[in-house]
Every structure is written in C-alpha cells, then in structure tokens.
Amino acid sequence: MSETASPQTHSFQTEVKQLLQLMIHSLYSNKEVFLRELISNGSDACDRLRFAALTDAGLMEDGETLSIRVSIDEANKTITIKDNGIGMTEEEVIENIGTIARSGTKQFLQALSGDAANDANLIGQFGVGFYSSFLVAQKVELTTRHAGQPNSAGVRWESEGEGEYTINAVDGVERGTTITLHLRDEEEEFSQAYRLRGIISRYSDHISLPIEMPSEDKEKNGEWESINSGSALWSRAKSEVTEEEYTRFYQTLTYDSEDPLATLHNRVEGTLEYTSLFFIPKKAPFDLWDREQRHGINLYVRRIFIMDDSKHLMPSYLRFVRGVVDAADLPLNVSREFLQNNKSIDRIRSASVKKILAELNRLAEKEPETYSTFWKEFGKVLKEGIVEDQDNKTVISDLLRFNSTRTEDGTQSESLASYFKRMPIKQKAIYYITADSHYAASTSPHLEIFRKNDIEVLLLSDPVDEWLVSSLTEYKDKPLKSIAKGALDLDDFSTDADKKANEDKAKDLESLTEKMRELLGEKVSSVRVSHRLTDSPACLVADESDLGGNLERILQSMGQTAPEAKPIMEVNPDHPLIKQLNPEHHQLGDWTQVLFDQAALSEGAPLTEPAAYVQKVNELLTKAVIAEG
C-alpha cells in the first residue's frame, strides 16, 4: 500500500470537542463497547455488500467468505479490526466517518436540550458509534476501498480526536475497511488477546458472520479461528434446539453448573417483533437479596448485544430470571434512559412477566414437586410481587405458599386456594399471624382459641410477609385478618352460653383490668379480658389500625422509625394466676409487670429492662415458696 497524494488536513468544526465529550460521557459509559461498535459497523458493511452483490455479481468472488478479523500488536499497543465488506469511497469516508463535521452538526447541537438522557438518544441517532474508538485510543487510522473500485482508489483517514483529521488517497488497499487503534497508555488492558476474546464473546457472539482472531494454538501459528458462535440460539425455532443446547447456553450465560429449572422460548410477531429466551434457575444466587446487584435479562437489538441486566425488561421480584430479549424494532443506540418511558419496552416487559407467571402456575398445578423446589429457593422474592405488581396480584396470590397450623413442618406448602377450600362455610376470614420465626409463630398464645375450635391459621415468618399482608387484604372475597390485631370475632364458633359467660367474666374483672392498665401506665393503651387465650395468662394485641409488634421490630432493625403505638394487653380470666389476682392484691404491681413482660417475650419482643424482669420473677418465686413452706 502506498500513498498517491499528500494527506489533506481538515479542521473539525468548533462544536466537535463538545460533541465528542457528550457522546463519551452520556452514551458510552462502558469503554469496552468500542469493539462492539466497530464489529457492528463491519457486520453492516458485509451485509450491504451481500445485498449489493445480488444485482452486481462482480462485487464478490464466487465462494468468498465475508468476515471480520481482529488482531493485536502488543509491542505497539494497537488493535486492528478489518472487514471485507463493501468499503467506502473518499466521499463516503467524509460523509460517514466525518459525520460530526457535516454542516448539519451546528443545527444538531442547537437541538440538544442539556438533558443527558435525551441528548444521548439524539447522538446515537446521528450514527457516530465509530467515535467510541476514542474511548481507548489516542489515535485512529482507517483505510478503506469501496467494492468495484480499482486498487488505486483506496482512502486513508487519520485523527487523534482533537481539532483535525487528515485524509488522502492510497493504492494497494484490499476491498473493505481496516481500522487501527493506537491505545492510550492507561488502556493497555485492551492489548491482551484474552480481554478482546471475552468482549467479543459477550457482545458479538451472535453476529451472523465469522469474527476471527489469530489462533492461540502454537501448532496453528498463522491461522485464524472464529471467536463467535455465529448463530443466535434464540433466533432458531424451538423445534430445532435441543435441551442440551438450551442447557449449554444457560450455563454459558449464568456460569451455573446446574440445569435450569424451566426454559421459556417465545417469538412474537406483528406490530412489535421480538424474541425472548428465559430461564428459571434451580438454585438462588448468593447475591439474590442484593436488589442493586442484578444479573437478569440481556437486551439485544437484531442480535447485537446492547446491555445486560435491563431492569426495565423484568421487575425486581423476578430478578432471579435469566435470559435474553432480542428486539427487532429498537435502535442500536438504546440507552438505559431511553428504556424508561418506551411503550415497546413496556409491552415486552408486560408480556414477559405474564409468560413467566403462567409457567410458574403450570409448574404449581402439573409439577408440584418441581414448584416446591422453586418456592424453597425463590418464594420470598416472589412475595415481593404482591406489593410491586398490582396488575398481576391475583395471579401471584395463587402462587404463594405458606406454613399453617395444619402442617407445621416449616416447608411452606399451603396455598391460599387450599386454605380457602378447607374453610368452614361459617368462617368469615382467612386468619394469619406474623412473627420473626416459624417457631415463634407456631407457639404464639394467640393461636390457642383457634386450635381449640380447629380453625386453620397461616403462620407467616418471612420479613416480607408484613408488607405482603398489607397489600393482599383479601382472597376470593375473604378478608385476611391478623389474629394478633384488633378485636376477635369468633361468634359463629361460640354458643349463646359461651357468649354470655364471656360477657360475665369481662364484667367481673372490669375493676382488675382497669387497675392493671393504671399500673402499666404509658406502656399499654388498655387492658381487657381475652377471648383468644385458653392456656396462657396474658398476651399483647395491636390495635386494628396499628402496625403490629413484629413489623415495628423489623422497621427498627432497618434503622427506620416506626410510628409510636401502644399495645393492648389481654388477660385470660380462666387462668389460675389471673383468678388469684384482684385490685387490692399487695403484689399486683409486680405481677402485672411480669405478665406484661412475659406476653412481650412470647411474641418475640425484647425486654427494655431484662434485669428488672428477672429480679421481679425471682422475688415472686421466693415469696411463693416461703408462703408454701
């Protein structure tokens, strides 16, 4: 290759630096995408040549293979990307590579709003992805020759991305385009072959033509080998993909050594065209509960990788789902800001969520053991959907699983549907209790009257359950009611004689409960006779409108201030200890405080003065022993 004319120096417009800076900082936040952009440009050039050759067969040789080659010169710290596509004439170089120097640039810049998100979209639409080269390069050289032009019609373009670029004619140039990046010192990592191979595998694996690099096998010195698979698995018909291929792709995508629990492959055509391939893992990742650290859905546009973990394609409560969405109608310059209010993205997301929930429902009905495996790993996350996804609340509610007093093995195997089916006709509500552990829930004194009447209660011990029941207030027209909040209405399970006896007991103990409330002072809102206790002497109940003790403790553990609320203490009129107490009892103050502390302990609350509690209990026990002696 030799020059046939002296290089001509051209000055960029004064707006060029501003445009380059805006592009680099607003559009390309990840430097490695420079290789994606250059490979994508090379792929487009080959596609254009293939199309042009349909009407001009002389543009390509028979049996010629179109490809992109990437090579490295570690000594000189350069990267070369070469394609044998359609190439460019000098006019096209100025028009395409010099895009930002066009006369329209000034008007374009005047249209910029100053909003980085909107400006990034405008820049992408202007088609200047080539300039992402300057993210890593201090100088860029380009040589090219258009298909059908003589060897002497080559063009060289060169720039350091500052105020000027040079362009001149050269001969001896092969058809296509060759771009050489002279890396900046601080970007030396990109002169390593393994680094570029990784980038190609991640961003361009599914480009339909070969992307080649020199073989690393010493016995194949001088040979080129393809780095990409060259075929998008998801673009193939489901009938053409084997389970082994799905599994291999899943494991490559997620680094999971196990098979996926479920695979969903779907193609949508019509006004919106896209393909989705989703996987539900068998095991939860270690960072599942880090809501900011997500590795869910990769977005592609026409098989070109755009971004990973697009939160706009999958809600947070489905963050365990892995896979890809490949949209045909989105621009390649999609930014995260662009996705926020995009109707096409919203439609893809909505359809994808429904598809996944439908598959989970199928597993729950047809493969309960498989669904049980899923629920054990991801049930707590799926519960977040009740709060986050109002549109699909009904569907999600049928997927929920809980512990209950019917099966207290802690496996969370009971659905709301199964509970509803077992409810006696006269039962008015679906009852539940929340606690900080399954043991605390299953041993709560609030359950006593329900066990006596054989009424099933859901035992909720996951922290998210508190938010779940605040959003899921009913199921099939039956309200969900906490057995530890508000007044208890079990009249339908009581005889008239029972009701009359309860009223008499409350009246008989009215003076005692009033005295106990006075002794407890600001610690309680009231003290009353309980209709829910059969064995325990006392319990604490939240008012119907209050948060409840468990949620209050959860908020405090998160460093949040919970609204101040005073519990109601209920006492069991049939308990021997309560029967021994009266308003004039000389130790009523100590007994009242001990009963209050014991009730708090039984629901998992910490004592504010544990030493004082132990001291009171010891004093009362000592006096009781002496009295008996």
- Assess whether 80 and 218 both reside in one domain: yes
Q: Residue 121 — very low, low, confident or very high, per pLDDT cuts 50/70/90? A: very low
pLDDT of 99 over the 70 cut: no
Structural domain includes residue 412? no
pLDDT of 404 over the 90 cut: yes
Task: Out of 226, 261, 282, pick the residue that ends a domain.
Answer: 226
- Assess whether 216 and 237 both reside in one domain: no
Are 553 and 605 within 8 A, CB to CB?
A: yes
Higher pLDDT, 353 or 462: 353
Structural domain includes residue 623? yes
- Assess whether 45 and 118 both reside in one domain: yes
- Assess whether 106 and 209 both reside in one domain: yes
Note the pLDDT of residue 124: 38
Structural domain includes residue 477? no
Torsion over CA of 313, 316, 321 and 327, rounded to 10 degrees? 0
pLDDT of 102 over the 80 cut: no
Are 155 and 88 within 8 A, CB to CB?
A: yes
Residue 539: what residue type?
A: C
What is the token pair recorded at 397?
Answer: 């509610």
Cα–Cα distance for residue pair 224/275, rounded to 1 Å: 32
Q: From start to end of 316-372, where are the E strands?
A: 322-327
Structural domain includes residue 400? no
Cα–Cα distance for residue pair 428/476, rounded to 1 Å: 12
pLDDT digits (tens, 9 = 90+) for 520-554: 999 999 999 998 899 999 999 988 776 665 656 66
User: Smallest Cα–Cα separation from 542: which of 589, 595, 475, 484?
Assistant: 484
Q: Dihedral sign, CA of 94, 97, 98, 100? A: positive
Residue 189: what residue type?
A: E
Structural domain includes residue 384? no
Cα–Cα distance for residue pair 12/167, rounded to 1 Å: 13
- Assess whether 157 and 259 both reside in one domain: no
| DSSP-assigned letter for residue 12 | P
- Rounded to the nearest 5 percent, the helix, strand and coil shares of the chain are 45, 20, 35
Q: From start to end of 60-153, where are the E strands?
A: 68-73, 78-83, 137-145
Taking the CA of residue 341 as centre, how many other CA atoms within 13 Å lie in the half-sphere pointing to its CB? 3
Structural domain includes residue 391? no
- Assess whether 498 and 540 both reside in one domain: yes
What is the SS3 string spanning 499-540?
HHHHHHHHHHCHHHHHHHHHHHHHHCCEEEECCCCCCCCEEE
Total number of residues shown for the chain: 629
Task: Out of 324, 341, 363, pick the residue that ends a domain.
Answer: 363
Cα–Cα distance for residue pair 608/553, rounded to 1 Å: 13
Structural domain includes residue 624? yes
Element (H, E) at 374: helix 368-388
Task: Out of 226, 243, 269, pick the residue that ends a domain.
Answer: 226
- Assess whether 503 and 543 both reside in one domain: yes
Element (H, E) at 622: helix 610-628
- Assess whether 314 and 335 both reside in one domain: yes
Q: From start to end of 542-625, where are the E strands?
A: 568-571
Cα–Cα distance for residue pair 547/551, rounded to 1 Å: 6
- Assess whether 214 and 280 both reside in one domain: no
pLDDT of 141 over the 50 cut: yes
In three-state secondary structure terms, 280 is: strand
Note the pLDDT of residue 303: 76
Q: What is the CATH number of the domain that holds 289?
A: 3.30.230.80
pLDDT digits (tens, 9 = 90+) for 581-615: 999 998 999 999 999 999 988 887 778 888 988 99
Structural domain includes residue 591? yes
| Long-range contacts of the stretch 227-231 (C-beta < 8 A, 24+) | 227/70, 227/197, 227/200, 227/201, 228/200, 228/201, 228/204, 229/205, 230/206, 231/206
- Assess whether 89 and 238 both reside in one domain: no
The boundaries of the domain holding residue 319 are: 233-363
Note the pLDDT of residue 105: 46
| DSSP-assigned letter for residue 405 | T
pLDDT digits (tens, 9 = 90+) for 159-189: 887 778 899 999 989 999 999 999 999 999 9
As for how many domains the chain has, the answer is 3
- Assess whether 257 and 191 both reside in one domain: no
Q: What is the mean pLDDT of residues 376-401?
A: 94
pLDDT of 6 over the 80 cut: no
- Assess whether 497 and 579 both reside in one domain: yes
Q: What is the CATH number of the domain that holds 553?
A: 1.20.120.790
Note the pLDDT of residue 108: 47
In three-state secondary structure terms, 606 is: coil
Q: What is the CATH number of the domain that holds 97?
A: 3.30.565.10
What is the token pair recorded at 353?
Answer: 């969520």
